[in-house]
Amino acid sequence: MKQTIITLQNKKKSGEKITMLTAYDYSMARLCAEAGCDMLLVGDSLGMVMLGYPDTVSVTMDDMIHHTRAVSRGCGDAFLVADMPFMSYRTGMRDALVNAARLMAEGRCQAVKIEGGSELCDLVRQLKLGGIPVVGHLGLTPQSVNTLGGYKVQAKEEEAAVRLLRDAKALDEAGVMGIVLECVPRELARLVSEEISCFTIGIGAGPDCDGQVLVLQDMLSMYSEFRPKFVQSFADVGAAIQDGVRAYCAAVQDGTFPDDSHSFTMDKAILEKIAAEYTAHEK
């Protein structure tokens, strides 16, 4: 069944958890969708995961459109959300609307995600009026990591926690379809999930959110340099890929691949005729 805003909201009402993963290309999107994932997120994390950028700030609108369009071709029944990249919605209402429209029309996503609190409520309303569903993002907001002082848990103190709760309520009232809560205490995430009508998606926010999201490459252990506390490995795909590549390289180098079973042949008489004619011509 195709996931929609209504089916996802019904999951919150019934207490059924929502599953979400990042995807950055067609093949991974198709695998995730066929495995039953409810939502796919083309996150601006693609900058680091796929493009080798040092951070999400480097990701452009063209980067996001390119990858979102690829994912859209393989997302199947999953609901597709794409990140609005750094500053694409902070330079004025018109710029924000134009960029969001491009991401929807050219990228073929079904909703856009923006990072920030109450200051974005007017934008949320305008996007909804334009037919663009919005997912919010509170807590650790990677596009603002330079002002947050690094990648660390947010809203642990009273003032910050109250501000996050107010922001969540404001975004909910403005009309977001859901809110990602990243790196916030589980108790606060539970309270937010109980106090707002839209669904919450947690990443490093404990088990009481309405759903969960992880970076696909993290949960498949495709990177060994660093694993955040909130990530669980569900398959050691990184090691499997490396083993396969090593085996391939070894087979090519020792001459066992390709063999006759991987090769094509031609009629011997034709080959002899070509060889004879070529030899005669060369003389």
Tell me if residue 182 is catalytic.
yes
The DSSP 8-state label assigned to residue 150 in this structure reads S
The amino acid present at 283, given as its one-letter code, is K
Angle CA(58)–CA(38)–CA(83) in degrees, nearest 5? 20
Residue 41 near residue 83 (C-beta atoms within 8 A): yes
Q: Is the peptide bond before 185 cis (omega within 30 degrees of 0)?
A: no
Q: Which of 94, 64, 49 is nearest to 222 (CA)?
A: 49
Residue in 159, 182, 194, 277 annotated catalytic? 182
Instruction: Dump the DSSP string for 207-241.
Output: TTSSEEEE-HHHHTT---S---TT---S--HHHHH
Please report, to the nearest 10 degrees, the dihedral formed by the alpha carbons of residues 59, 63, 64, 68 taken in order.
-150
Beta-carbon count within 10 A of 39 CB: 26
Q: In 3-state terms, what secondary structure has residue 19?
A: strand
Residue 19 near residue 37 (C-beta atoms within 8 A): yes
Residue 20 near residue 178 (C-beta atoms within 8 A): no
Active site positions, annotated:
182
